[in-house]
Structures are given as C-alpha cells and as structure tokens.
Structure 1
Amino acid sequence: MNEQLELISGQIAGMDPVAALRRLTEQYPGRVVFSTSFGWEDQVITHLIFSNDLPIEVFTLETGRLFPETYYVWNRTLEIYNKPIKAYFPEAEALQRMVDAKGPSSFYTSVENRKECCYIRKIEPLKRALSGHKIWVTGIRAEQSPNRHDMRNLEWDEGNQMIKYHPLFEWSLDEVKDFIKKHNIVYNTLHDRGFPSIGCAPCTRAVLEGEDFRAGRWWWEDQSKKECGLHATT
C-alpha cells in the first residue's frame, strides 16, 4: 500500500486541489467520496467539487444533534449549487437502545458513554457511507490540532482500508477564509462567534482566546486528544 500511496502522491504532487481531485476521479471513477460537516474547510471543498462538476459523491452525517446554523448552511448549499448531498443517519434501533438505557445526554457522564454515542451517531454511519469507495476526501488541515501535524495530505486509513486525501492540508485558516470571501461561499456563522470546529450542538462550545483549536469539542474531557474516531491516526 505504501507503494500505491507514493505512486498517487507523485502523480498529484504540485497540482492544485481541483486538478488533484480530478486526477483521483480519473483513476478511481465512481469511487471517490467527500464527507462534509459544513464547516469552513468543507464548504471550500464542496464549492470546488460542485462548481467544477467533479464526479465525487458528497455526503454528511446527520447525527440528529446538529446546530440550527449547520442546517441553514446545508439548505443554502443545496439551493446554491443544485447538487445532491447524501445524508447518513444513525441506525435507529442502536440509537433507541442507548437513549432508552442511558438518556439523551449520557455522553457527559463518562468517556466510554461519549465514545458510544459518537460510534452510533457518527462512526457506524460513516462506515456505511465509505463502503465501496477507494478515496475519502476530507477537510483536514495540518494546523487544526497537534496530532494532525504528523499526518500527510495523502495517507492510508487502516481502519477503513482506503486512501484519504486532504486537499487543503497545507492551507492556513486565513487562506481558507480569504477563499470563502473571494468566492462568496456560504459558511456557518458560528465560526464568527468563536466556533472554529463545529460538531454536535451538545458537544461543542465556543473557544476562548488563547485556547487550542479543538478546545471547544468535548471540553469536559482530557484536553490532550480531541478526536471522536472519524480521523484516528493510530
């Protein structure tokens, strides 16, 4: 797999994101997929895909606990581009069993319960969304969190047995925001209110000045690692 990664990495080296994405769709027709949570980076990538008619399926995880502002961006994106965004929902029986047994806010009571909620609402639906695909495109950037500095823009995802491509990996936040302004891209207004990373409403708060990028995610837990499992690197 390292040889395949190096081969693809060499082929897209020096390409802008659109050219690289197009090359990947040519190599893996019908098997490139992009996951959006409607944040800054994802809106940039969605714009690149939709405005260039790239044959990439765009999907989102509808956890049932998203912010109203996120739903607004979702709706406006559909209206602006007139392109489909596929929604993947939690498996109903698993979700009902958890809520019946532990209530709607069990994730606050222990790390294990939070991980269970993330698995049911995000991880399991993600596996369904990725099934049958070869390339998973994401909005990850290197500066978003310390453990992402060690990643590459193209990497092997062992857990999902597929290649991940991060087209904005080397972009700064200022570059992302400048692109959004230049192209008048709709974005989540929570970003303007101190939310650099936006997930489920009960698990996300604004970040205070001087705090880490992901300090607003699961803030009641250990601050050393802020991932839910979607983008595990080990």
Structure 2
Amino acid sequence: MSHPFDVAEIAASLASKSPQDVLKLAFEHFGDDLWISFSGAEDVVLLDMAWKINKNVKVFSLDTGRLHPETYRFIEKTREHYGIEIDVMTPDPRLLEPFVKEKGLFSFYKDGHGECCGIRKIEPLKRKLSTVTAWATGQRKDQSPGTRSQVAVVEVDGAFSTPEKPLYKFNPLANMSSEDVWAYIRMLEIPYNSLHERGFISIGCEPCTRPVLPNQHEREGRWWWEEATQKECGLHAGNLISKG
C-alpha cells in the first residue's frame, strides 16, 4: 500500500479505464483503508463491483432517520445478499434532538434543507471519514449536469480533507450513464431498491424525495421546492463550482 500518490497522474492514467480498473487501483493503494459509500440507491453497482474484487470490502451507509421503509429494507437485503457488514452511521442525538425540538420535523420546507442535512447527513459522514484514508462513491457526471459534470474519477476530497490528513476520493462510476448502470443491474440481476419501480430515480430522505415525470431530470425529484443550484446536500461539496 503506497501513500501518498500523485492524484493528477493517476487520474490521467485512469481516464479511459473501466470502473473495475479504478476500483482495483484503489484497493491496490489503500486495501482495507478504502471504504465504499452505499446510499441504498443505484450505487449498489459500485458495491457489487467492489465486492467482486474484494470480498472483505468495507462499506458504510448513512441512516438519517428519515429514509423510506423500502430503503431500510434494501440496505438489509444488500447486507444479506453479499454477506457483508454495513457500518450504518446515525445522527448525533445531542445535535438532532434540540434541532427537532426547536424547529419540528419539517423545517426544511420553510428554510431550506441545509441545516437538516448538516445534522442528519454531513456530521455522521464527517465522523466516519475522519477515521478513513480513502472512500469511493457512486457519483456520476450525468446525475446532475449543473453540479456533477466535473466529477473526477479520483481526487483529493475537497470537502473533508485536512492539511494534516488528506482524504482520497474515488468516483469509479463517474463516466457511466444511468442507462449503463441499469444495464448492469439487469444483466447481473443484482438487488435494487424497489422504489425505482415507482418512478424514483435519485433516492434520498423520504420527505425530500419524490418520483420524477418522463423526461424530467432525476435530480428534480430531490428538494424540488428549492432552486436547482441548491440540490446538493454537502456530501460532495467539491461539486459546487463557483461561477465567479
């Protein structure tokens, strides 16, 4: 396992490689220090690819406390299907309880999703990532042309790195399309979230996710009451490029 490595050089060498090649290189460099982020949506493709390379793959998921019942069932089904442990991170009650007491359970419809996501998603994620050296996500460029078109196959994480401790982030599915992802799911008959059968494409928390109509972009089903520029929760803050 060699640290650190030249991200620009490696990104260039991976530019035309398959997602599996990206994962193989990630495992070669980081081994058990590489964690796969699994959200209970179509990023199951990432988990499937990683598991086929390393049966002892480390996986974590964020339980915000507000997921759909179908997502909870799917996370459990995935755990059993692959015979893996999934490290489920939950919000810190010392932050969540006063927030709910003061603002109730649906404040985000009035004042935006930032504060709620900060407590339910960002803080648990930060807590997890502070203990790891590298992580891999299922982000793709086509998921949100406005904010994700610049997704790199490998990068130093712009949101969660510190000068003392760089965090390396792999996005092996960056160049796959939604069509590619679903061809993979169907061809290999891997488990998927049953919400996908009901018009849900991008799946997050239950109050903040809805199905999309034909020809609507998938991210239009997330935080639909807000401007398009706000449709990231901060997990991938590096996506939000300043328009100067």
Residues 29-56 of structure 1, C-alpha deviations (whole Å, 9 max, x = no match): 332111111111x111111122332554
SS in 1 for 2:152: coil
Residue 106 of structure 1 and its aligned partner are, at CA, apart by 1.2
Q: Are 2:150 and 1:150 aligned?
A: yes
Structure 1: runs of 5 or more not aligned: none
Q: 1:33 aligns with which of 18, 32, 35?
A: 35
Structure 1: distance between partners of 2:31 and 2:193? 31
- Equivalent residues of 2:11, 2:155 under 8 A apart: no
Q: Are 2:20 and 1:18 aligned?
A: yes
Residue 110 of structure 1 and its aligned partner are, at CA, apart by 0.6
Letter in 1 for 2:131: G
Q: 1:173 aligns with which of 175, 178, 183?
A: 178
Structure 2: distance between partners of 1:210 and 1:186? 25
Structure 2: distance between partners of 1:70 and 1:172? 22
Structure 2 partner of 1:79: 80
Residue 189 of structure 1 and its aligned partner are, at CA, apart by 1.7
Structure 2: distance between partners of 1:54 and 1:220? 41
SS in 2 for 1:171: coil
Structure 2: distance between partners of 1:151 and 1:52? 23
**Alpha carbons of structure 1 residues 52 and 215: separation in structure 2 relative to 1, 3 Å:** same
**Alpha carbons of structure 1 residues 6 and 55: separation in structure 2 relative to 1, 3 Å:** farther
Structure 2: distance between partners of 1:9 and 1:224? 27
**Alpha carbons of structure 1 residues 133 and 8: separation in structure 2 relative to 1, 3 Å:** farther
Q: Are 2:160 and 1:160 aligned?
A: yes
1:81-230 correspondence runs (5 A): 81-111=82-112, 114-146=113-145, 147-161=147-161, 162-230=167-235
- Equivalent residues of 2:60, 2:86 under 8 A apart: yes
17-26 or 210-219, larger mean C-alpha shift:
17-26
Structure 2: distance between partners of 1:220 and 1:172? 26
Letter in 2 for 1:160: F
Residue 219 of structure 1 and its aligned partner are, at CA, apart by 0.9
Structure 2: runs of 5 or more not aligned: 162-166
Structure 2: distance between partners of 1:19 and 1:80? 24
Letter in 1 for 2:213: L
Residues 67-93 of structure 1, C-alpha deviations (whole Å, 9 max, x = no match): 111112111111111111110000011
Structure 1: distance between partners of 2:137 and 2:54? 18
Structure 2: distance between partners of 1:120 and 1:20? 32
Residue 14 of structure 1 and its aligned partner are, at CA, apart by 4.2
* Percentage identity across paired residues of the two chains: 41
Structure 1: distance between partners of 2:226 and 2:17? 39
Letter in 2 for 1:157: D
Structure 2 partner of 1:64: 65
Residue 10 of structure 1 and its aligned partner are, at CA, apart by 4.1
Structure 1: 4+ residue segments shifted above 6 A: none
- Equivalent residues of 2:159, 2:236 under 8 A apart: no
- Equivalent residues of 1:34, 1:138 under 8 A apart: yes
Tell me how many residue pairs correspond in the alignment.
230
SS in 2 for 1:150: coil
Residue 209 of structure 1 and its aligned partner are, at CA, apart by 2.2
